[in-house]
C-alpha cells in the first residue's frame, strides 16, 4: 500500500496522496471498494500452540563469493556521463553502458533530453561489450537510440532482468533488429571476465517491471538504483565505491494533468513542492545510510520541450542535483558528483584523493551542455500518421480495443475524449463512455452508484497507442492527457492494468478490418 501519510480512523487507514482507505481488520480496501487486498501475513504456531513471530533475514546475494577490493591503476575504471540515465563505464578492458537514451523523445512526445549527448555517443555504444537496460520505460529503453545502434551492431549483448513484464516485450513490433538480448535471473552474479561481474536486483515496489544493478570490478562495487522506488526491498550494499540514483521527481502526470475539485493551481504547486522535498530528503537519507564513497544523481535530466507542453514544463518543477548533493555533504563525508555530458570520473583517482584535479575530467570549454533545439518533426510525423489510419473509420474499433485490453468487472465508468493540442475536442474525433463493470459502451452514464473518470487525450498519441497496443505510460507519464475524477480516488487496478498488464501481443487489426469490410 502506498502510505505517504496514514491516519487511523477506528480500524481504517487512509493514504493522503491517493485517498485509499484500508480496513485493517480485514486488510481489504473500502475506498475504492472491491479493488484489491493487502497480502495476508502467514501465522505460525509453536509447539505449545502459541503465536510464533519470525523475522526473515535472508543473506544478501551480493555477499556470495565475496571479493576483497584490489588495487586499481589510474584510468583503469572510468565512468563517463552521456545523458539522462546513460553512463559509459570503462572497466579494465571491458566497456559497459547503462540505459542509452540519446536521441528522440520518450513517452510518445512528452519527454526530451535536457543535455546534449557527446558527439561520439554512437561510437561509444558500438564499442561497448555489453549494455544493461533497467526497465521498459522509454527514457531507459529508447528504440530510436537502439535502432541506430542495431544498424551498426545488431548482435551487441544486452542484459535485462527477468521481470514479469519483459523489458523487450515490444521488440518485434518496434522494427529494431537486435539479436543478442539476455534475460538474467535476479540476485545471481553474472561473470563477464575474471575481474568483472554484475548482478541485477528487482524493485520492491514495482517488481513486475523495475530493476537496479550492482557492477563489481576487482572487488569495487558500483550501485545503480536507477528509478527503483525501493530497490531490492530496501536491502542494499553499504560502502560501495560509487552509487548513482534518480533524484529529480516529475515522472508522472499527477497532479499537473488533473483538474476539478481540489486540483487548483495553488494546490498543485504546493503538492509538487512538498513531494519534491520529500524525495530529496529520502535520497539524502538513503545515501547517508549506505555511505558510498561517491554519489552521483542522474536519470532525471529531461525536459518537456515541445511548445504544446509549455504548461507542464512551467509547473512540473524538478529537484536540483546540486541541492541534493549539498544536502548530502551536510550530513556525511560522501563525495558527490553532478555530471555533465562528456565528463569522466576516474574511480581510482577519486578513491585515493578526492581533491585530485584529474579525478573528474570535465568536457572541454565551449562544449554544448544543454540542448536548445530538438528534432520534433520525424517523431511527430509517426504519431500523426495514426490519426488517419483506416482502423478509426469504424467506430467498432472502440469495442475491439477494450475487449482486447481485457479489463472489466470493476465499477468504474470512463469517458474518453479525443482532443487537439490544447485538449479541446478534436473535430470529428471520438467521445465515448466505457463501463468497466460489464465492459459496455453506454450512451449515458448508468444510474447506479459508480466511480467516474474523464480522460482527454491528444488524438495523435491515443490513436498511436491504440493501433500499436502500447501501454498507457505514453499518455499518462508523457503528459498527453488531462484528467478529472469523481470521486477523487486513484483506481489502482485500472491504471495498473493499462500501464503494465495489457496483453503482450497487439490487437489483430488486420482481422478487424477484414470483418469490417
Looking at residue 35, what is its pLDDT? 47
Q: What sign for the dihedral angle of Cα 312, 499, 83, 269?
A: positive
For residue 11, pLDDT beyond 90: no
What's the mean pLDDT in 157-164? 97
C-alpha dihedral (120, 126, 130, 133), degrees to nearest 10? 70
Q: What is the pLDDT of residue 402?
A: 98
Q: How far is C-alpha 387 from the chain's CA centre?
A: 27
Average confidence score pLDDT of the chain? 93
Phi, psi angles (nearest 5°) of residue 438: -125, 10
3-state secondary structure of 457: strand
pLDDT-based confidence at residue 6 (cuts at 50, 70, 90): very low
Instruction: Give the span between the Cα atoms of 451 and 32, in whole angstroms.
Output: 8
- For 41-61, write each residue's pLDDT tens digit: 556 666 777 766 555 567 899
Cβ-contact 182, 166 below 8 angstroms: no
Q: What is the per-residue pLDDT across 446-489, written as a single tens digit (0 to 9) for each? A: 999 999 999 999 999 999 999 999 999 999 999 999 999 999 99
Percentage of the chain beyond pLDDT 90 is 88
Beta strands in 92-143 (DSSP E): 94-98, 112-113, 130-132
Spatial separation of the C-alpha atoms in residues 511 and 202, rounded to whole Å: 38
The answer for residues whose C-beta is within 8 angstroms of residue 278's C-beta and 6 or more apart is: none
Q: Using an 8 Å Cβ cutoff, are 481 and 475 in contact?
A: yes
DSSP, residue by residue, 423-443? SSBPTT--EEEEETTTTB--S
Lowest mean pLDDT among 48-62, 132-146, 174-188, 380-394: 48-62
Over residues 151-179, mean pLDDT: 97
> For residues 295 and 336, is the Cβ–Cβ distance under 8 A?
yes
Sheet containing 412-419: which strands, arranged edge to edge? 431-435, 412-419, 451-458, 481-486
Characterise 428 by phi-psi region: left (phi > 0), alpha (psi -120 to 50), beta (else): left
The pair phi, psi for residue 397, each rounded to 5°, is -60, -30
Decide which of 225 and 37 is more confident.
225
Helix axes 459-468, 376-385, angle to 10 degrees: 70
Q: Is 95 helix (H, G, I), strand (E, B) or coil?
A: strand
Q: What pLDDT band is residue 331 in, cutting at 50, 70 and 90?
A: confident
Tell me what the mean pLDDT of segment 310-337 comes to. Answer: 97
Report the half-sphere exposure of 211 (CA within 13 A, side-chain side). Answer: 30
Residue pair 20/1 in contact by the 8 Å Cβ criterion: yes
Q: How far is CA 383 from CA 15, 47, 262, 474, 482, in A?
A: 37, 65, 33, 12, 19
Grid coordinates standing for 85?
540515465
Residue 493's contacts (CB-CB under 8 Å, 6 or more residues apart) are 35, 36, 407, 410
Q: What pLDDT band is residue 63 in, cutting at 50, 70 and 90?
A: very high
- Residue 44 grid coordinates: 505460525
Q: Is the dihedral of CA 155, 156, 157, 158 positive or negative?
A: negative
Percent of the residues in the chain that have a pLDDT greater than 70, as a whole number? 91
pLDDT in tens, 97-139: 999 999 999 999 999 999 999 999 999 999 999 999 999 999 9
**Whole-angstrom Cα distance, residue 371 to residue 304?**
12
Residue 339 has pLDDT above 60, yes or no: yes
What pLDDT, on a 0 to 100 scale, did the predictor assign at position 138?
A: 98
Length of the chain: 517
Provide the pLDDT confidence category of residue 40 given band limits of 50, 70 and 90. Answer: low
Cell numbers at residue 8, please? 487511523
pLDDT per residue as tens digits for the range 345-385: 999 999 999 999 999 999 999 999 999 999 999 999 999 99
| pLDDT at site 58 | 72
Give just the sign of the alpha carbon dihedral 400, 401, 407, 411.
negative
Determine the pLDDT at residue 192.
98
Cα separation values, 263 from 8, 111, 193, 224, 412, Å: 25, 23, 54, 35, 21
> Tell me, what's the pLDDT at 51?
65
All three cell numbers of 415 = 469517458
* pLDDT tops 70 at residue 10: no
pLDDT at 443: 97
Amino acid at each position: 500500500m502506498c502510505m505517504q501519510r496514514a491516519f487511523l480512523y477506528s480500524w481504517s487507514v487512509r493514504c493522503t496522496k491517493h485517498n485509499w482507505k484500508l480496513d485493517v481488520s480485514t486488510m481489504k480496501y473500502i475506498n475504492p471498494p472491491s479493488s484489491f487486498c493487502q497480502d495476508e501475513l502467514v501465522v505460525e504456531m509453536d509447539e505449545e500452540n502459541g503465536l510464533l513471530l519470525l523475522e526473515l533475514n535472508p543473506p544478501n546475494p551480493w555477499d556470495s563469493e565475496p571479493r576483497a577490493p584490489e588495487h586499481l591503476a589510474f584510468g583503469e575504471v572510468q565512468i563517463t556521463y552521456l545523458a539522462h540515465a546513460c553512463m559509459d563505464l570503462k572497466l579494465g578492458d571491458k566497456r559497459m553502458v547503462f540505459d542509452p537514451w540519446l536521441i528522440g523523445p520518450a513517452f510518445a512526445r512528452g519527454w526530451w533530453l535536457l543535455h546534449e549527448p557527446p558527439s561520439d555517443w554512437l561510437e561509444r555504444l558500438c564499442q561497448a561489450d555489453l549494455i544493461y537496460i533497467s526497465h521498459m520505460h522509454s527514457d531507459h529503453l529508447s528504440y530510436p537510440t537502439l535502432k541506430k545502434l542495431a544498424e551498426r551492431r545488431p548482435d551487441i549483448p544486452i542484459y535485462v532482468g527477468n521481470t514479469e513484464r519483459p523489458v523487450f516485450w515490444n521488440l518485434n513490433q518496434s522494427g529494431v533488429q537486435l539479436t543478442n538480448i539476455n534475460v538474467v535471473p535476479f540476485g545471481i552474479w553474472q561473470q563477464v571476465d575474471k575481474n568483472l561481474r554484475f548482478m541485477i536486483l528487482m524493485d520492491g515496489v514495482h517488481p513486475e517491471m523495475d530493476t537496479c544493478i550492482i557492477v563489481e570490478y576487482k572487488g569495487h562495487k558500483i550501485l545503480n538504483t536507477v528509478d527503483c522506488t525501493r530497490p531490492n526491498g530496501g536491502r542494499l550494499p553499504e560502502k560501495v565505491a560509487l552509487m548513482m540514483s534518480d533524484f529529480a521527481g516529475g515522472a508522472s502526470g499527477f497532479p499537473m494533468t488533473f483538474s476539478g475539485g481540489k486540483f487548483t493551481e495553488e494546490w498543485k504547486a504546493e503538492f509538487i513542492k512538498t513531494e519534491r522535498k520529500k524525495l530529496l530528503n529520502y535520497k539524502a537519507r538513503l545515501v547517508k545510510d549506505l555511505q558510498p564513497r561517491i554519489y552521483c544523481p542522474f536519470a532525471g535530466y529531461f525536459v518537456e520541450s515541445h511548445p504544446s507542453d509549455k504548461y507542464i514544463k512551467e509547473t512540473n518543477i524538478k529537484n536540483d542535483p546540486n541541492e541534493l548533493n549539498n544536502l548530502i555533504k551536510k550530513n556525511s563525508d560522501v563525495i558527490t558528483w553532478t555530471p555533465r555530458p562528456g565528463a569522466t570520473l576516474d574511480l581510482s583517482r577519486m578513491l585515493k584523493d578526492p581533491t585530485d584535479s584529474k579525478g573528474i575530467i570535465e568536457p572541454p570549454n565551449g562544449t554544448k551542455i544543454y540542448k536548445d533545439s530538438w528534432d520534433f518533426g520525424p517523431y511527430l510525423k509517426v504519431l500523426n500518421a495514426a490519426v488517419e489510419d483506416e482502423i478509426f473509420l469504424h467506430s467498432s474499433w472502440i469495442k475491439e480495443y477494450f475487449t482486447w485490453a481485457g479489463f472489466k468487472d470493476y465499477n468504474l465508468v470512463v469517458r474518453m475524449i479525443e482532443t487537439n493540442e490544447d485538449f479541446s475536442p478534436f473535430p470529428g474525433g471520438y467521445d465515448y463512455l466505457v463501463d468497466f463493470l460489464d465492459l459496455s459502451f453506454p450512451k449515458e452514464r448508468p444510474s447506479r452508484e459508480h466511480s467516474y473518470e474523464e480522460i482527454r487525450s491528444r488524438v495523435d498519441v491515443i490513436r498511436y497507442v491504440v493501433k500499436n497496443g502500447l501501454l498507457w505510460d505514453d499518455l499518462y507519464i508523457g503528459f498527453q492527457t488531462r484528467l478529472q475524477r469523481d470521486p477523487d480516488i486513484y483506481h489502482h487496478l485500472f491504471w495498473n492494468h493499462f500501464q503494465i498488464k495489457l496483453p503482450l501481443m497487439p490487437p489483430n487489426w488486420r482481422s478487424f478490418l477484414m470483418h469490417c469490410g
